[in-house]
Chains A and B, each alone.
Chain A
Amino acid sequence: MPAEPPVESPTSLAQAFELLGDDGWRPIAGGTDLMVQITGELAPPPERILDLWQLDELRGIKLDNGWLVLGALTTYTEIRGAELCHQHLPALVDAAATIGAAQIQNRGTLGGNIANASPAGDTLPVLLATDAQIVLGSAAGERAVAAASFWTGYRQTARRPDELVLRVAIPLPRGRHVRFRKVGTRRAQAISKVVICLSWREDAGVWRDVRVGLGSVAATPIRATQTERVLEGAAARRETADHAAATIAAEIHPIDDVRSTAEYRRVVTARILHRLLREAGGW
């Protein structure tokens, strides 16, 4: 029986914001990350816990003005079952399907994945690659932070202590392609060794607005901006793929850890990118 810090379960966002006016609150959504941290005694338990589970205002998936909007408490199961997600962002569905297994997918949330800021968070490269906006809220109001600016350091985010992640808004430009690939440690219940999301728009035979989101190769999820520049304005030919693969291999600096080696991550990231380009180019 692990530590049991005090908890409050507000029934409205307004109530939650008011509580967050004081210090020391640690929000909990589905608990799939936070409960493990408490049980595992990784650090002294949080002083007090803010239970978000009753905040229905944080639920729901909808289309809003050409953007796909998902509430922070959207679970991976809900993403996998949402027609809107299948239609407009199947890569997010693919990412959700690789997380844990049924039990975790029923409880793990998109907002949790975002706020937990693990470098291995599987949805995060998708958010980076699609220019998602993370909407934060507090008693002072709402503000949107671009995914590219959201993860600021190892397990650190732009979220202030009095804020909550409310929702994610993902633009849906016409003609955009998004591809997701995760290399896990096994076929389920697996933390990624490498996770990549590639998106682009095709324009007269060349790629535009290229985004490469990566996880598990740095202290935060990152964009491979040098690689994006190589692909921007290029066609998905063999030479481009070779150049992009070499660029990404040089651009990232992964580490050795319990799951894998720096060299493996570097090489496999490049190989997968090369494969995605091969598949897109049809050669």
Chain B
Amino acid sequence: MTVTTRPPRVAPRPEAPVAPVRAPDVGDLGVGLARSFPLRREGPAKLNGTAMYTDDLVFPGAWYGQTIRSSEPHARLLGIELDPAFDWSKVVVVTARDIPGDNYVSLLTDDQPILVTDEIRHHSEPVCLLAASDRQTLREAKHRIRLLTEPLPAVFDPLEATQEFAHFALAKGDIEAGLAEAELVIEGTYRVGHQEQLYIENNAMIAVPRPDGGVTIHGSMQCPYYIHKALKRALRLSDAQAVVIQAETGGGFGGKEEYPSIIAIHAALLAQRLGKPVRMIYDRHEDLAATTKRHPAIVTHRTGVMRDGRLVAQDIEVVMDGGAYCTLTPVVLSRGTLHAGGPYACPNVRIRGRAVATNTPPNGAFRGFGAPQTEFAAEMQVNRIAETLGMSPLELRRRWVYRLGDETPSGQILRESVAGEEVLERAAEAAEFERTRVQTGRVRTDRLAGSGSVARSSDVLSSASQKVARGIGMALGWHGAGFTGSGEVKLASVASLELSSDGRLRVLTGSTEMGQGTKTIFPQLAAEQLGLPESSIEMAPQDTSIVPDSGPTVASRTAMVVGGLVIQAAARMRALVEDSTGRPFADSYLEYATEHDGLRIDQQFEPYPNVNFDDETYRGDAYPAYGWACAVAEVEVDLDTGETQVRSVVSADDIGKAIHPVLAEGQVEGGTLQGVGYATIEEIKLVDGRYLNDRLATYLIPTSLDAPRIEAILVESPFSGAPHGAKGVGELPMDMPAAAVVAAIHDATGVWIHDLPATPERVLAALHGIPPPPLPGISTISARSTEPAPSAQDAGTPEEALDPRPDAETDPQPLRGPQP
């Protein structure tokens, strides 16, 4: 925040008119949008403090668990030393040897151990587990463990990494011919750093031993059945012995897609050893230091265009940093690669993507899942090309955007539900893009003409006559709905609708609520089909012993795919009952229930017709449909400091069908702000493979004062394969705001920032040629780590010139335990 004492002598500037929030008409409040759609089902409980998140649950006699983690990025683990002077009889210790099943976190590839055996591959890797009956004992025990290690060389730069997790290639037309034919080839390299999901509720799990020898897990999660699968394998449990129950979950955004399996297994191992419940509630520092982040990426473009604006060639390379283990990296890379060209028709395309390993904590799912990274780069190219050609960024996109019948780089013909043009026009109009751009352009031209376009070295230290510059920028995005390729077919998700013998209706699904509105729209969809009020449909708890596997709550598939199953199940139930009774469902279902002892319909996903994809060649219909979105951002840049204030963002999003407009707007607004944070202040620096931004004081997300006014415009271009036409809304809004913000910064200042986040340091460096900060996403190496590792480190040695903790000269690295 920048505050200037207003000098009383200078004539006071007229106060900006205070912007009143539009006060609702009497007709609005209570009869507004929300009342035509159901209120949030679990809303009252969340509002009055009775909603039970994991840490709110009480299990009498529970112990507390703690993870002991590595403090080196790459090392051989020689041993775990327990201080003999400490009374270990009060503490349970679990190591890799104590794992009954396979020491792997089940996901895509068997490479990530649940606990380290002999090789540490990243900082904060879990090595062993402790449990104690009280937190004081646990705190003491944590400091009485020493990891005996031998450092190994570490790899931090993805461009130097040799271990590859995955690669993909897409080709269309003839790239070399296209580039040769082009009148102009514009090159660009773009780098994006890590981003933390920053759910406000930290990861948390409680494991409770079962009488049948199994474990019940209560926790914060997106995917109960991912945990179920991983738990069974690690602890050698049957389906019935492994019970996973989602507690109220305070945000996920992908950060609770795959990571919770590890915590659940850890808690379960301790609970089984102990025979008592064990609570593993992460604090913020541990969550930031150890859990997954968005994959950093380096995206290189060579784009061939004609001077008249035709797009003829796109040659794109994507390199993603997966961190130390595979997790979901191949799928993230896949989506990133498939979206890397942006929503544009181009005759000659080559996209090559690869994801590699570095000795940093594994990266994982985060809203957008590869697309925000590559679409940032794609949109930067479009905006830069518009500048080079002297064309409006809006006009250029009008020419390039996919239209019905166009072919994508994977060879998919876009046969329906194509709304790129519409969202482009709606956003541009609502934001008054062209009119504003003319104004800002004029001001920028005057300013640059006045000062000269080349910054003089003496200018670096001085202010200019203009202090603040305004800019406007746009970006267009697309997001394939649901799982890539044959993913949905493989998932074979099931959702069920049950009518009990006493006449109660409930939806059974493994899809979770994490704020996006699952528990509100599923009863709504079922009720619409059945002709009943929404309040008459219950939602079964997300408990694996009760509900079927509806696939993970990810990939913006919940409303589209699982919602579709709910509709189909309801339609079937209605038909069945009405056929039997000869009367409308609403009038006859209670009677039917009594007479037939209830009824249950299980609806399994069936492949979308005419959607074919070859996983081997990566050709065909990558997604059944795409969502389309356009963001227009306005910023103010402080020319003294390089600080950017994003004043407003208009986001027009085609989501196929807005099942619940208030909830859908909520997704657009929230996703937009995450994209704004990605573009501006959400920065992670690493030293020796360790995140420096490991507290909330140093990993920054936007506060209400940082947040722009956000206008969400919902557009509906329905997808015929979904019963309601919905195409997903969770991730699409995240794909393009960052590029819109950076384009707006360029409009204001005349400089392009190629690396995210576009911090004041980067903006000032671009404006005045001062040394920029280090490249994002790549760990620097401290002077200390290049010295030979001493056998007994000086406990008081401060980190050289780095203060990772607010106002601290040293980082105490509490995760490590004591200094010898």
Q: Say yes or no: A275 contacts B640, CB within 8 Å.
A: yes
Q: Say yes or no: B5 contacts A264, CB within 8 Å.
A: no
Shortest C-beta distance, B686 to chain A (Å), equals 10
B residues less than 8 Å from A1 (CB atoms): 135
Of A9-17, A63-71, A166-174, A252-260, the segment with at least 4 beta carbons within 8 Å of chain B is A252-260
Q: Say yes or no: A264 contacts B462, CB within 8 Å.
A: no
B595, CB-defined interface residue at 8 Å: no
A7, CB-defined interface residue at 8 Å: no
- A280 and B808 contact, Cβ closer than 8 Å, known pairs A249-B461, A257-B802: no
Q: Say yes or no: A274 contacts B462, CB within 8 Å.
A: yes
A residues less than 8 Å from B9 (CB atoms): 280, 282
The residue of chain B having its C-beta at the shortest distance from the C-beta of A43 within the complex is B812
Those of A244-283 within 8 Å (CB) of chain B: 245-246, 249, 255-261, 263-264, 267-268, 270-272, 274-276, 278-280, 282
Q: Say yes or no: B803 contacts A258, CB within 8 Å.
A: yes
Those of B594-646 within 8 Å (CB) of chain A: 640-643, 645
Q: Say yes or no: B462 contacts A242, CB within 8 Å.
A: yes
Mask, A172-215, CB within 8 Å of B = 1, is 00000111111111111111010000000000000000000000
Q: Say yes or no: B681 contacts A94, CB within 8 Å.
A: no
Q: Say yes or no: A188 contacts B705, CB within 8 Å.
A: yes
Q: Say yes or no: A256 contacts B5, CB within 8 Å.
A: no
Q: Say yes or no: B458 contacts A242, CB within 8 Å.
A: yes
Those of B274-305 within 8 Å (CB) of chain A: 285
Shortest C-beta distance, A28 to chain B (Å), equals 17
Scoring A184, A242, A257, A270 by chain B CB atoms within 10 A of each residue's CB, the highest score goes to A257
- A118 and B703 contact, Cβ closer than 8 Å, known pairs A185-B681, A272-B640: no
Q: Say yes or no: A183 contacts B703, CB within 8 Å.
A: no
Q: Say yes or no: B809 contacts A264, CB within 8 Å.
A: no
A98, CB-defined interface residue at 8 Å: yes
B398, CB-defined interface residue at 8 Å: no
Mask, B112-137, CB within 8 Å of A = 1, is 00000000000000000000000110
Those of B766-799 within 8 Å (CB) of chain A: 768, 770-771, 773
In the bound complex, CA of A183 to CA of B681 (Å): 13
B2, CB-defined interface residue at 8 Å: yes
Which of B3, B761, B809 lies in contact with A261, CB distance below 8 A?
B761
Those of A203-254 within 8 Å (CB) of chain B: 219, 241-242, 245-246, 249
Shortest C-beta distance, A139 to chain B (Å), equals 31
Q: Say yes or no: B2 contacts A183, CB within 8 Å.
A: yes
- A260 and B761 contact, Cβ closer than 8 Å, known pairs A241-B462, A267-B768: yes
Of B79-87, B206-214, B322-330, B691-699, the segment with at least 4 beta carbons within 8 Å of chain A is B691-699
SS class, residues of chain B in contact with chain A: loop
A97, CB-defined interface residue at 8 Å: yes
Shortest C-beta distance, B710 to chain A (Å), equals 16
B32, CB-defined interface residue at 8 Å: no
- A271 and B461 contact, Cβ closer than 8 Å, known pairs A41-B812, A256-B802, A263-B770: yes
Those of B671-706 within 8 Å (CB) of chain A: 681, 685, 692-693, 695, 697-698, 700, 702-706
In the bound complex, CA of A41 to CA of B131 (Å): 19
In the bound complex, CA of A245 to CA of B9 (Å): 23
Q: Say yes or no: A182 contacts B812, CB within 8 Å.
A: no
Q: Say yes or no: A274 contacts B463, CB within 8 Å.
A: yes
- A182 and B698 contact, Cβ closer than 8 Å, known pairs A42-B805, A279-B7: no
Q: Say yes or no: A186 contacts B802, CB within 8 Å.
A: no
Which of B7, B135, B285 lies in contact with A280, CB distance below 8 A?
B7
A residues less than 8 Å from B765 (CB atoms): 264
A91, CB-defined interface residue at 8 Å: yes
Q: Say yes or no: B3 contacts A41, CB within 8 Å.
A: no
Which of B135, B458, B804 lies in contact with A258, CB distance below 8 A?
B804
In the bound complex, CA of A177 to CA of B127 (Å): 59
In the bound complex, CA of A268 to CA of B136 (Å): 45
In the bound complex, CA of A183 to CA of B705 (Å): 15
In the bound complex, CA of A101 to CA of B704 (Å): 11
Shortest C-beta distance, B713 to chain A (Å), equals 26
- A186 and B3 contact, Cβ closer than 8 Å, known pairs A264-B761, A267-B764: no
Q: Say yes or no: B1 contacts A187, CB within 8 Å.
A: yes
Q: Say yes or no: B7 contacts A181, CB within 8 Å.
A: no
Mask, B806-820, CB within 8 Å of A = 1, is 111100101000000
Q: Say yes or no: A97 contacts B3, CB within 8 Å.
A: yes
- A245 and B462 contact, Cβ closer than 8 Å, known pairs A188-B705, A261-B773: yes
Q: Say yes or no: A271 contacts B807, CB within 8 Å.
A: no
Q: Say yes or no: B807 contacts A179, CB within 8 Å.
A: no
B760, CB-defined interface residue at 8 Å: yes
The residue of chain A having its C-beta at the shortest distance from the C-beta of B806 within the complex is A191
A residues less than 8 Å from B773 (CB atoms): 261, 264
Q: Say yes or no: A271 contacts B803, CB within 8 Å.
A: no
- A94 and B5 contact, Cβ closer than 8 Å, known pairs A42-B812, A191-B697: yes
In the bound complex, CA of A201 to CA of B773 (Å): 38
In the bound complex, CA of A94 to CA of B3 (Å): 7
Scoring B3, B685, B703, B806 by chain A CB atoms within 10 A of each residue's CB, the highest score goes to B3
Q: Say yes or no: B461 contacts A267, CB within 8 Å.
A: yes
In the bound complex, CA of A41 to CA of B809 (Å): 15
- A182 and B462 contact, Cβ closer than 8 Å, known pairs A191-B806, A279-B10: no
A residues less than 8 Å from B812 (CB atoms): 41-43
The residue of chain B having its C-beta at the shortest distance from the C-beta of A121 within the complex is B807
Shortest C-beta distance, B787 to chain A (Å), equals 20
A residues less than 8 Å from B1 (CB atoms): 98, 182, 184, 186-188, 190
Q: Say yes or no: A187 contacts B4, CB within 8 Å.
A: no
Q: Say yes or no: B764 contacts A186, CB within 8 Å.
A: no
Q: Say yes or no: B706 contacts A264, CB within 8 Å.
A: no
Q: Say yes or no: A179 contacts B2, CB within 8 Å.
A: no
- A186 and B462 contact, Cβ closer than 8 Å, known pairs A91-B5, A264-B770, A275-B640: no
Q: Say yes or no: A272 contacts B641, CB within 8 Å.
A: yes
The residue of chain A having its C-beta at the shortest distance from the C-beta of B807 within the complex is A118
Q: Say yes or no: B461 contacts A270, CB within 8 Å.
A: yes
Shortest C-beta distance, A130 to chain B (Å), equals 12
B residues less than 8 Å from A259 (CB atoms): 698
- A264 and B802 contact, Cβ closer than 8 Å, known pairs A182-B1, A242-B462: no
Q: Say yes or no: B643 contacts A41, CB within 8 Å.
A: no
- A187 and B698 contact, Cβ closer than 8 Å, known pairs A257-B803, A267-B764, A272-B641: no
Q: Say yes or no: A191 contacts B807, CB within 8 Å.
A: yes
Scoring A41, A189, A271 by chain B CB atoms within 10 A of each residue's CB, the highest score goes to A271
B31, CB-defined interface residue at 8 Å: no
In the bound complex, CA of A189 to CA of B136 (Å): 30
The residue of chain A having its C-beta at the shortest distance from the C-beta of B142 within the complex is A41
Those of A111-151 within 8 Å (CB) of chain B: 118-120
The residue of chain B having its C-beta at the shortest distance from the C-beta of A187 within the complex is B705
Which of A94, A154, A177, A271 lies in contact with B462, CB distance below 8 A?
A271
A residues less than 8 Å from B693 (CB atoms): 258
In the bound complex, CA of A276 to CA of B6 (Å): 10
In the bound complex, CA of A37 to CA of B341 (Å): 48
B801, CB-defined interface residue at 8 Å: yes
The residue of chain A having its C-beta at the shortest distance from the C-beta of B812 within the complex is A42
In the bound complex, CA of A260 to CA of B4 (Å): 21
The residue of chain B having its C-beta at the shortest distance from the C-beta of A96 within the complex is B3
In the bound complex, CA of A185 to CA of B703 (Å): 11
A-B contact pairs, 24 of them (CB 8 A): A40-B814, A90-B5, A94-B5, A98-B3, A177-B7, A182-B2, A184-B2, A185-B681, A186-B681, A188-B1, A188-B705, A190-B1, A191-B697, A193-B760, A249-B461, A255-B801, A258-B685, A258-B803, A258-B804, A264-B760, A268-B642, A270-B460, A272-B640, A279-B10
Known: A3-B139, A272-B641, A280-B7. 15 other contacts (CB 8 A): A36-B806, A41-B814, A90-B5, A97-B3, A98-B1, A155-B807, A177-B7, A188-B1, A188-B705, A245-B461, A257-B804, A261-B771, A263-B771, A272-B640, A275-B640
- List 4 A-B pairs, minimum CB-CB distance, nearest first: A187-B705, A275-B463, A270-B461, A118-B807
A residues at B contact (CB < 8 Å) = 1, 3, 36, 40-43, 90-91, 94-95, 97-98, 101, 118-120, 154-155, 177-191, 193, 219, 241-242, 245-246, 249, 255-261, 263-264, 267-268, 270-272, 274-276, 278-280, 282
